[in-house]
Amino acid sequence: MVSVEERYEHLEKTIRGYNISADFAQIKAAYVYAREHHGAQMRRDGTPYITHPLQVAQIVAEMRLDSESIIAALLHDCIEDTDSTYEDIAKRFGVTVADVVDGVTKLTRVKYSTMEEEQMENLRKMLFAMSRDIRVILIKIADRLHNMRTMEYQTPAKQKKKAFETMEIYAPIAHRLGMQKVKWELEDLSLKYLDPVAYDDICKKLEAASDEHDQFMSAVQSEVNARLEELGIPHATVYGRVKHPYSIYRKMYAQEKTMDEVYDLFAFRVLVDTVSDCYNVLGVIHDLYKPILGRFKDYIATPKPNMYQSLHTTVIGEEGIPFEVQIRTYDMHAIAEYGVAAHWKYKQGIKKEGGEGTYEWIRRLLENQEDADAEEFIHSLKIDMFSDEVFVFTPRGDVINLPAGATPIDFAYSIHSAIGNTMVGAKVNGRMVGFDYQLHNGDIVEINTSPSAHGPSRDWMKTAKSSEARSKIRQWFKRERREENIAQGRASFESELKHAGLSLSQITPPNVLPSILKRVSFQSLDEMYAAIGYGGCTALKAVNRIRDELLQISRAAAVEKASQEAAAAKEAQEGRPPAPQKSKSEKGLIVEGLSNCLVKFSKCCTPVPGDAIVGFITRGYGVSVHRKDCPNADPDRRTAAEQGRWIKVTWSDDVYESYTTSLEVVCKDRNNLLVDISTALSSCKVSVTSLNSHITTDGFAIFHIAISVSNAAHLDQVMRKIHQISGVMKVGRPAG
């Protein structure tokens, strides 16, 4: 076991290796401060908690960041997990360090109505802090990387949850920042927990063939080295590697291949001093080996938005084995490995805060999502930040990068909102195309505009792929068509209201309307109608929130009436309270203090015997039973008027043979997935009452399944069985 002091000494040694002028006194002070404040806290692996901040600081030091970054990494959990405050850190280590630490800190003290809303607000906070100081995300990625390295000590449920979040959020952010080395490790560690069977299978097969792979790579390396020396290309470094497990897994999944059918397992890198040497080496590689047509990419002439530069070519060796060769300079390689961290301005000694033009895309992303709700924010984030990209050209040769699947509408609005608003036609490679045409890499796009254009169509909102285009279209309708928006929004709202079994007269009384408007976050009904009209929100979401608010209002009225009746009854009995009773309901439940009452199981969390439960007295529907971990039963969310309506409910000995409950299963979409899930359910002897599924745009399959089980232990068996299916990433019980 390495001691805490030895870890700190290793950290200092790493820092001295690249920055001898670092502020070691403050770094030591930060280490002591963090160690004292984390005190006796322990990690799940049994080590003192301070080892985690030390390891995060070590990863940050390996990125070769400055003293303030190291200090912030050491302190990154202090505000969240100890009694330390922002003010105290600012006083001791400066406002800049405190801002970075605060940017990394999650919004743990705020309660949210849904998990999506909590995730959105934490991401929005992190991205906002990141737009001011890029070190926030670098430390957050280092934090997540160390957590994933030690994930083996967490529960299986938490392993899958964190691995899924890492694969969906943090690995793509690392990619967007050009941090390929970190991205690969995050992906491999996530796959280890999301699909352990496939991960182990790939690793075992790679290990079994390691001698054969090493022999092949050594032969190619020697051959290329010999030719480069012969031609006098100086300081060239050649090395090969086998693709990492997740890269192989994706190829197997996307192309439905077995491990033995994945031939391009190998990638070689050639590092040289200058750009001209890169192109010389390319000629050497194409002379030695046969290039595969269509597999050459020049990212030196047209760098990726994350600053990545390299020449890529795929060739076939003498043994008929295809392999990729990446050719780049040493400076390009540093950026390819560590991205933004490799050439960041703090490293170069510039001490100004924030404002890097390189990261303007973060600010644009946030601006485009200012009015978005949680679902829209997460969806747009995945498209704008995490999806594959397509590179197209303006007629003047400027490179524009857009999300994969982008259309001429996205291109027009990426140039300027005025271009999009006056667009009447588009040409791609000199040929007229429709507005829904999907752009491809290398397309030359020309937009035709007219001052007499009527402006964007509402259908463009469905066609546009990027949130920037959709945001600008919404802004146009918001500004130019207010009366039309109100009329259209009102019609949509009233139609949805009728569909929900409600009427406008139920929400307009003076004692009801203020709380309704507060719930939907608008100042007036016209403002809400206008937002629905221009696409700022949907009628369905507005009606759902209004229905929930009306239900709360009716519950509060029922409680008040019940309390008044109880007070009257108490007075009538001259202060003698009724004797408490317990009675067994016909559904296997005991409701404290109530006899022969109607009982129903809440659909929001579908409890089964063995779950911790609580009851809520409804108006006219008896007692509604919730799981205690259901957000709707959270004590912190109960109003004062509701307190008296929550009662104790327990399971009796004579429960039913089966109870209906719900599962949500998130998987990587593939063939025969539904067959495997059905087989697993059948093997657990459960009956399926309903099953719905949909495929997301990024290749995930989400199943909502209603099943009948005997108790919580039976349900756990079913969930474990589904977890074991290849490609299944998350199995959960919906609640709230």
- H-helix or E-strand spanning residue 613: strand 613-617
Query: Is 80 among the residues known to form the active site?
Result: yes
Query: What is the residue whose two structure tokens read 């009209």?
Result: 533
Enumerate helices (H) and strands (E) in the chain, giving the number of each.
29, 22
**pLDDT score recorded for residue 36:** 93
φ/ψ of 508, rounded to 5, equals: -95, -10
Asked if 706 and 689 touch (Cβ cutoff 8 Å), the reply is yes
Identify the segments of the chain with pLDDT beneath 50: 107-114, 343-361, 366-372, 374, 383, 386, 578-584
Sheet arrangement for strand 728-732: 687-695, 700-709, 659-668, 728-732
The strand pairing partners of 104, in sequence order, are: none
Separation of alpha carbons 687 and 708, rounded Å: 6
What per-residue confidence (pLDDT) applies to 658? 77
**Helix crossing, 210-231 with 275-288: angle to 10°?**
120
Hey, which residues does 328 pair with through a beta bridge? Answer: 271
The phi and psi torsions of 520 (rounded to 5 degrees) equal -95, 0
pLDDT of residue 350: 35
Q: Of the listed 12, 23, 62, 81, which one is catalytic?
A: 81
pLDDT in tens, 363-414: 555 444 444 454 555 555 554 554 566 778 888 877 787 877 899 999 999 8
Would you call 109 helix, strand, or coil by DSSP?
Answer: coil
Instruction: Select from 622, 614, 619, 578 the least CA-distant residue to 597.
Output: 622
368: left (phi over 0), alpha (psi -120 to 50) or beta: alpha
Question: Which residue in 12, 23, 80, 484 is the catalytic one?
Answer: 80
**162-172 per-position pLDDT tens digit:** 998 888 778 87
Q: Give the pLDDT score at 185.
A: 93
Q: What one-letter code names the amino acid at 653? A: D
Contact 419, 448 (CB under 8 A): no
* Chain mean position to CA 379: 9
Burial bucket for residue 106 (CB in 10 Å: 0-12, 13-18, 19+): middle
Task: Round the CA-based radius of gyration of the chain to a whole number and report it.
Answer: 30
How far are the Cα atoms of 131, 498, 701, 714 from residue 128, in angstroms, in the given order? 5, 40, 31, 45
- Decide if 195 is catalytic: no
DSSP assignment of 669-694, as one string? --TTHHHHHHHHHHHTT-EEEEEEEE
The per-residue pLDDT for 224 is 92
Three-state secondary structure along 333-397?
HHHHHHHHHHCCCCCCCCCCCCCCHHHHHHHHHHHHCCCCCHHHHHHHHHHHHHCCEEEEECCCC
Q: What is the dihedral of CA 210, 215, 218, 223, to 10 degrees?
A: -150
Residue 563: its pLDDT value, please?
Answer: 72
